[in-house]
């Protein structure tokens, strides 16, 4: 149980996918302008990360590894995740239109997102068992959520401030992202000592 | 050769399985979309201004397809031609669109009023409004930073001499500037012959006179000369009922008799 908590917390804070591993930067910069779209995107990412791990972990463990096909990992994972997200979108559209409305636009965006692929591959590389892999995916998704919500707050403050002309737009956004990311480095080494 | 096949075959098999599942899923769980929707959406101008009362053009198109009772003449930017096309597609009776234009209820330009302070800060009306009601001596008047001009999808507004001015021929009546003005100086009126009170100052006449020589002092002269009783003075500022004003037999009499020049007229022809 302690190990699961450590995995969850370290995925959220220490190995935060956006701010420490620098995966999924595209939606982080692209969709973080408003809080509601940032929330929608993050929820979609959490959802897809969990689904993708649930699908790819068994494929790697029971199909690729026994047959010595581990080197096909990347291409098979991309294929499966893309098909899975499409399937989920169809199912949502049919049975949960309200959820589809709030997540719908973001789902196709993250089919080929590197954060999602990164979670599934790192789950295998770390040698996690299935529950551990799922907890790690949940933590990674929550970490993404945290980063998005925090950064949308930073950006709404930026919007209202008087930025020098040459810094307006992307430069100030990237600078702010760097500072937010720097703050997350402070979490390094916290969790290991928390349960020591 | 065998090494290639052992790699290719599993990927192909997985790919085919995924494709089969997707094809079946999309057939089984297909959601019917109204086939009129794309045609209806195509008719709308796509300004997403919200003048119709729905969330953008997509929302209005959806509402039109779903219910017979939604009127086709709600799109003010699209005007009559859009309403006609919509009525044809949906097979309902065509009703005239009441075209509207935005008017600014302030004429306090730099020749008629003065700044009370020098403003250094964010160049926006909403921000300036927060600091003692703006830099101008009249706190009811146009703040002059052009929040309305920035939001206007048609570039129909410009700020000249410190007051926003609207070109009625460019204005599509979407009402976005009405929401943008922090002093609520802009309103939509029917696009007919009209007289407009170009002042919103609710202070007493003497106070208004001090800050702006173009302001409405609430003397009620216009109220008396208006042949149709379309003008009433409330809270020290004249208000004109546009519906009555359009039928005026003596059009422009109120503007001619205004002591301060706070009433302006506009003739469509």
CATH number, domain containing residue B73: 1.10.15
Partners of B160 in the β-ladder: B163
Q: Are B79 and B52 contained in the same domain?
A: yes
In a domain? residue B2: no
pLDDT tens digits for range B13-70:
989 999 999 899 888 877 776 777 888 888 888 777 777 778 778 888 888 887 777 7
Q: Closest Cα of chain B to A143: distance in Å?
A: 30
Could you give the number of structural domains in chain A? 1
In a domain? residue A178: no
Q: Closest Cα of chain A to B125: distance in Å?
A: 13
Shortest CA distance from B21: residue in chain A = A87
Q: Assess: ipTM above 0.90.
A: no
pLDDT tens digits for range A91-112:
878 877 777 777 767 777 777 7
Q: Given an 8 Å threshold on Cβ–Cβ distance, is A72 in contact with B11?
A: yes
Q: pLDDT tens track of chain B, all 269 residues?
A: 788 888 888 889 989 999 999 899 888 877 776 777 888 888 888 777 777 778 778 888 888 887 777 777 788 777 778 888 888 887 777 777 777 888 899 888 888 888 888 888 888 898 888 888 888 888 888 998 989 999 888 888 999 888 999 988 888 888 888 888 999 999 888 888 788 888 888 888 888 888 888 888 888 888 888 888 888 888 888 888 877 877 788 888 888 888 888 888 887 76
Nearest CB neighbour to A91, from listed B10, B29, B122:
B29
Domain end position, chosen among B171, B189, B207: B189
**Contact yes or no for B59/B9 (Cβ under 8 A):** no
- Domain housing A77: 34-144
Q: Are B45 and B114 contained in the same domain?
A: no
Q: Which of residues 23-52 of B touch A (CB under 8 A)?
A: 25-26, 29-31
Shortest CA distance from A84: residue in chain B = B18
In a domain? residue B228: yes
Which residues of chain A are modeled with pLDDT < 50? none
Q: Are B121 and B166 contained in the same domain?
A: yes
In a domain? residue B164: yes
Residue-level pLDDT at A147: 92
In a domain? residue B49: yes
Domain end position, chosen among B159, B189, B219: B189
In a domain? residue A132: yes
Q: Are B185 and B199 contained in the same domain?
A: no
Chain A to chain B Cβ contacts (< 8 Å): 45
Q: Are B185 and B149 contained in the same domain?
A: yes
Domain end position, chosen among B189, B217, B241: B189
Residue-level pLDDT at B77: 78
CATH of the domain at B162: 3.30.70.20
Residue among B2, B23, B24, B31 with most chain A CBs within 10 A, to mutate: B31
Could you give the number of structural domains in chain B? 3
Partners of A107 on chain B (C-beta within 8 Å) are: none
Residue-level pLDDT at A136: 93
Residue-level pLDDT at A196: 60
Q: Which of residues 77-136 of A touch B (CB under 8 A)?
A: 79-80, 82-83, 86-87, 90-91, 93-95
Q: Are B197 and B184 contained in the same domain?
A: no
Q: Given an 8 Å threshold on Cβ–Cβ distance, is B31 in contact with A94?
A: yes
- Domain housing B83: 37-90
């Amino acid at each position: 149980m302690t190990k699961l908590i450590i995995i969850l917390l370290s995925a959220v804070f220490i190995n935060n996918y956006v701010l420490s591993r620098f995966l999924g930067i595209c939606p982080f910069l692209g969709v973080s302008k408003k809080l509601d779209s940032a929330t929608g995107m993050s929820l979609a990412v959490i959802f897809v990360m969990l689904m993708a791990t649930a699908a790819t972990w068994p494929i790697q463990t029971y199909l690729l590894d026994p047959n010595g096909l581990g080197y096909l990992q990347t291409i098979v994972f991309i294929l499966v995740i893309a098909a899975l997200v499409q399937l989920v979108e169809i199912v949502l559209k049919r049975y949960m239109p309200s959820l589809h409305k709030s997540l719908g636009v973001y789902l196709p965006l993250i089919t080929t997102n590197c954060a999602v692929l990164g979670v599934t591959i790192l789950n295998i590389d770390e040698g996690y068992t299935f529950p551990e892999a799922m907890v790690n995916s949940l933590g990674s998704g929550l970490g993404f959520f945290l980063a998005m919500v925090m950064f949308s707050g930073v950006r709404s403050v930026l919007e209202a401030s008087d930025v020098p002309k040459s810094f307006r737009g992307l430069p100030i956004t990237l600078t702010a992202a760097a500072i937010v990311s720097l703050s997350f480095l402070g979490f390094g080494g916290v969790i290991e000592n928390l349960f020591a | 050769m065998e090494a290639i096949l052992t790699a290719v075959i599993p990927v192909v098999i997985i790919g085919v399985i995924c494709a089969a599942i997707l094809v079946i899923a999309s057939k089984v769980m297909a959601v019917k979309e109204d086939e009129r929707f794309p045609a209806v959406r195509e008719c709308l101008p796509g300004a997403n201004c919200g003048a119709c009362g729905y969330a953008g053009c997509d929302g209005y198109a959806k509402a039109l397809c779903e219910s017979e009772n939604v009127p086709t003449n709600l799109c003010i930017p699209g005007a009559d031609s859009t309403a006609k096309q919509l009525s044809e597609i949906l097979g309902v009776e065509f009703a005239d669109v009441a075209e509207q234009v935005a008017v600014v209820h302030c004429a306090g330009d730099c020749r008629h009023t003065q700044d009370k302070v020098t403003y250094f800060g964010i160049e926006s009306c909403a921000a300036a409004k927060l600091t003692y009601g703006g830099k101008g001596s009249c706190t009811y008047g146009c703040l002059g930073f052009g929040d309305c001009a920035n939001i206007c999808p048609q570039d129909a507004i410009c700020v000249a001499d410190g007051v926003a001015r609207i070109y009625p021929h460019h204005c599509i009546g979407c009402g976005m500037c009405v929401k943008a003005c922090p002093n609520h100086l802009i309103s939509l009126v029917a696009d007919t012959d009209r007289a407009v009170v170009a002042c919103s100052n609710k202070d007493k006449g003497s106070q208004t006179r001090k800050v702006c020589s173009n302001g409405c002092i609430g003397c009620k002269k216009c109220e008396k000369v208006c042949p149709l009783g379309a003008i009433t003075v409330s809270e020290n500022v004249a208000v004109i009922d546009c519906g009555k004003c359009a039928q005026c037999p003596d059009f422009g009499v109120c503007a001619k008799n205004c002591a301060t020049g706070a009433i302006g007229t506009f003739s469509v022809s």
